[in-house]
Amino acid sequence: MKARNLFWSVRRETWENRSLYIAPIAIAGLALFGFVLHLGRGVANAGVLPVPFGMAASMVLVTGWVVGLFYALDALHGERRDRSILFWKSMPVSDAEAVIAKLAVALVVIPAIAMAVALAMQLLMLVASSAIFAAKGAGATAPLAGVPLPKMSLVMIYGVVAHSFWFAPIYAWLLLVSGWARRAPFLWAFLPVFALFALEAIAFGSRHVLDFLKYRLVGAMGHAFAPGALERPITEISQLTPGTLLGTPGFWLGLVFAALCIAAAIRLRRYRDPI
Amino acid sequence: MACIEARGLRKAFGETAAVDGIDLRVEEGRIVGFLGPNGAGKTTALKAMLGLTSYQGELRVLGRDPWREREDLMLEVCFIADVAVLPPWLRVANAIDYVEGVHPRFDRAKAEAFLARTTIKPSSRVRELSKGMVAQLHLALVMAIDARLLVLDEPTLGLDILYRKRFYDSLLNDYFDGRRTIVIATHQVEEIQDILTDVMFIHRGRIVLDTTMEAFEARYVEVVVKPEALEAARAMAPLRERQLLGRSLLLFDGADRARIAPLGELRRPSLADLFVAMIEGAGERPRGAAA
């Protein structure tokens, strides 16, 4: 595993997939616009400002995760479809480096971009609220006191890192399907899960598959943050519970599943021909 | 050390053996033409040499096992597996950045100098280039890598004659230095006959001819037979007879020059003619060829 090969492999993904940063920026722009409209209409109350700040940041982060889903589904399929894999394989870059770089894009690069965009957006929101507060005579510095941005940023970084680990099996599964399917990776990725859900619902009338999925999508919130912390914007470091998250079997089982998927994806990239 | 050495190389897809026991040895510093009809196993054999497919039998490229050591092998081996495998979204400048980033033996100045002689702009994306320009770009990237072996599988397919000629001129004048080895698989035999030092014919997964060009020219001869000598010439077991502008051309394998000289005018046969003679002589039409 060579660092420069990983670096350039990640770099080339950012050339290919401009949506990685365009989508979060677009959503951040919309959120900012909505926020300004909201401030213009309402009463200047710095005490409730953290709510829109947290909500807007969450929207940007969720956009990043959704972009990551589509990215991962295409990452190992697209290069076989356009036959460019024959070019990538003519370079001294191993299949492991290529696949790990793609996983890193989904789990590290996209969340990092989304966080940077969210932070920049929050700073602009702060500037906008100062201006509007000043115009309304509520004091330009009131928002600065009302929004604990440094603490909120720490919480955001923690939450994103926790979710990168928690979501790792999802992205690893999508990469595996992307490297395996000859066509329609989207169907191959989601249809089996849906089929299981339908089978269970019809045969047993239960919904374990659905619960399992739901747990994987939102379960990390409950483990990574103190109970009840999610009802309001999280502004206190004491509300973070990394110990609980690390003590959750689902956290580790997910990582094991992710590792198996990635190992299989590396092997497939070695064996599979262009489509 | 041999550049490529194979013994009993075999690759089967289900029941059919695409490569059915190939023995070959390519020395360093040669330019080898790898010729065969569609579906003969050329591409599969080349893919095995490049670590793109698994195989049975023994295969060593620059002393390495290509399947187990592809990424290390790619430090010393370059290949163009097909025309147009550069991804459409890639910018020319980014392609250079990337290869410079991952390949320690890439010489950026060389690639840029080569591209400066073309009409390719650094800011263009591959999708905006013509097919011929994409081939030029790929060649520029590959030629700037100080490799010991270059493998080209139909590198000029679908290009017009100007681009094809320029492609091989660049290859010969700017790249080949007598130490490197080049393996070229193509159907456009006529255009590369003069640059080859060796030639191999592959048919139905086997090597049916493996010779240097010198030996080829010494062994095979074509005679434009005088009409009155036709019966005598046919009696000497030619490989193949063809008609051209009302004259009979007979191809001989290992014939005594003194005996056939009186039959008519002697010519150096083209690889294409020998190829057709050998493949048709093998009894049937090549697999995959149009009827």
Q: Residue A86 is nearest to which of B70, B81, B89, comparing CB atoms?
A: B81
Helix (H) or strand (E) holding B96: helix B92-102
pLDDT band at B283 (very low <50, low <70, confident <90, very high): low
A11 touching chain B per CB within 8 A: yes
Instruction: Identify the pLDDT of residue B282.
Output: 67
Q: What is the pLDDT of residue A146?
A: 86
Residue A14 C-alpha, separation from nearest chain B C-alpha, in angstroms:
11
CA distance to A67, A212, B177, B278, B279, per residue, from B239 (Å): 64, 72, 36, 8, 11
Q: Which residue from B71, B75, B90 is facing A15, i.e. has the nearest CB?
A: B90
Q: Is B16 on the interface with A (CB under 8 A)?
A: no
Residues of B in contact with A5 (CB under 8 A): 102
B80 Cβ under 8 Å from any chain A Cβ? yes
Scanning every residue of chain B, which has its alpha carbon at the shortest distance from the alpha carbon of A85? B85
Does B170 score more than 70 pLDDT?
Answer: yes
How many CA atoms lie within 13 Å of B179's alpha carbon, on the beta-carbon side? 4
Residue B148 parent element (H or E): none
The rounded percent of chain B whose pLDDT value lies above 90 is 58
A-to-B residue pairs, Cβ atoms closer than 8 angstroms: 74
pLDDT at B90: 96
Query: Is A180 near chain B, with CB under 8 Å?
Result: no
CB atoms within 10 A of CB B102: 24
Burial of A159 (0-12, 13-18, 19+ CB in 10 A): buried
Whole-number percent of chain B with pLDDT over 70: 96
Q: Does A71 touch chain B (CB under 8 A)?
A: no
The pLDDT, as a whole number, for residue B286 is: 43
Residues of B in contact with A13 (CB under 8 A): none
Contact A102, A72 (CB under 8 A): yes
For each of chain A's 275 residues, which pLDDT tens digit applies?
Answer: 899 999 999 999 999 999 999 999 999 999 999 999 988 887 778 888 888 999 999 999 999 999 999 999 999 999 999 999 999 999 999 999 999 999 999 999 999 999 999 999 999 999 999 999 898 888 888 888 888 889 899 999 999 999 999 999 999 999 999 999 999 999 999 999 999 999 999 999 999 999 999 999 998 888 999 887 777 777 778 889 999 999 999 999 999 999 999 999 999 999 988 88
Question: Does A93 contact chain B (CB < 8 Å)?
Answer: yes
Chain A touched by B103 (CB under 8 Å): yes
Residue B176 has pLDDT above 60, yes or no: yes
DSSP run (H or E) holding B262:
none
Instruction: Determine the residue among B50, B98, B127, B154 to mutate to test chain A binding: the one whose Cβ has the most chain A Cβ atoms within 10 Å.
Output: B98
**Terminal alpha carbon distance of chain B:** 43
Cα atoms found within 13 Å of the Cα of residue B260, Cβ hemisphere only: 25
Determine whether the interchain pair B70/A7 forms a contact, defined as Cβ–Cβ distance below 8 Å. Answer: no
Mean pLDDT for the stretch of residues B180-191: 88
Does B86 touch chain A if contact means CB atoms closer than 8 Å?
Answer: yes
Give the whole-angstrom CA distance, residue A88 versus residue B87: 10
Q: What three-state secondary structure class fits B16?
A: strand
Nearest residue, CB atoms, B98 vs list A8, A92, A97? A8
What is the rounded average pLDDT of the residues B92-96? 97
Does residue B74 belong to the interface with chain A, where contact is any CB pair within 8 Å? Answer: yes
Question: Which of B178, B175, B120, B125 shows the shortest CA–CA distance to B145?
Answer: B175
SS3 B267: strand
Distance (Å) from the C-alpha of residue A274 to the closest C-alpha of chain B? Answer: 10
Q: What would the DSSP string read from start to end of B49-63?
A: HTTSS--EEEEEETT
B53, B81, B97: residue with CB nearest A90: B81
Which residue of chain A is at minimal alpha-carbon distance from B81?
A86
Lowest pLDDT segment from A181-190, A203-212, B23-32, B271-280: B271-280
Q: Which one of B70, B91, B102 would you mutate to disrupt binding with A, by most A Cβ within 10 Å of its Cβ?
A: B102
- Find out whether B253 and B286 touch, Cβ atoms under 8 Å: no
Q: What is the ipTM of this complex?
A: 0.91
CB-CB neighbors (< 8 A) of A10 in chain B: none
Q: Any idea which residue has 């829109």 for tokens?
A: A52
Q: Does B49 touch chain A (CB under 8 A)?
A: no
Q: CA nearest B157: which of B126, B197, B125, B185?
A: B185
pLDDT of residue B89: 96
Contact residues on chain B for A79, CB-CB shorter than 8 A: 87
**Distance set, CA A115 to CA A5, A54, A63, B99 (Å):** 25, 12, 11, 30
Q: Best-predicted range by mean pLDDT among A127-136, B31-40, B104-113, B221-230? A: B104-113
Verify whether the Cβ–Cβ distance A8 to B78 is below 8 Å.
no
Query: The tokens of B268 are what?
Result: 């150096």
Round to whole Å and give the CA distance between B77 and B71.
Answer: 10
**Could you tell me the residue ranges of all domains in chain A?**
3-271
Contact A16 B86 (CB under 8 A): no
Supply the mean pLDDT for chain B. Answer: 89
Which of B33, B158, B99 has its CA nearest to residue A87?
B99
**Residue B194 DSSP code:** T
- Is residue B262's pLDDT more than 50? yes
> Is residue B285 predicted with pLDDT exceeding 60?
no
Chain B 121-140, residues with CB within 8 Å of chain A CB atoms: 138
Handedness of CA A224, A226, A231, A232 (dihedral sign): negative
Report how far residue A164's alpha carbon sits from residue A107's, in angstroms, rounded to the nearest whole number.
5
Which of residues 97 through 126 in chain A touch B, CB cutoff 8 A? 97
At B291 the pLDDT is: 35
Decide if pLDDT at B118 tops 60.
yes
pLDDT reported for residue A275? 82
- Distance in angstroms (rounded) separating the CA atoms of residues B190 and B270: 7
Tokens standing for residue A27: 């959503």
Flag whether residue A7 sits within 8 Å of chain B, measured between CB atoms: yes
* Rounded Cα distance, A124 and A146, in Å: 15
Q: Which residues of B touch A12 (CB under 8 A)?
A: 90, 94, 98
d(CA B66, CA A227): 55
Q: Tell me if residue B14 falls in helix, strand or coil.
A: coil
Q: Inspect the interface and report whether the beta carbons of B103 and A8 lie closer than 8 Å.
A: no
* CB nearest to A92's CB, from B52, B81, B102: B102
Average pLDDT on B215-237 reads 90
Q: What is the DSSP letter of B64?
A: B
Predicted confidence at residue B215, as pLDDT, reads 93
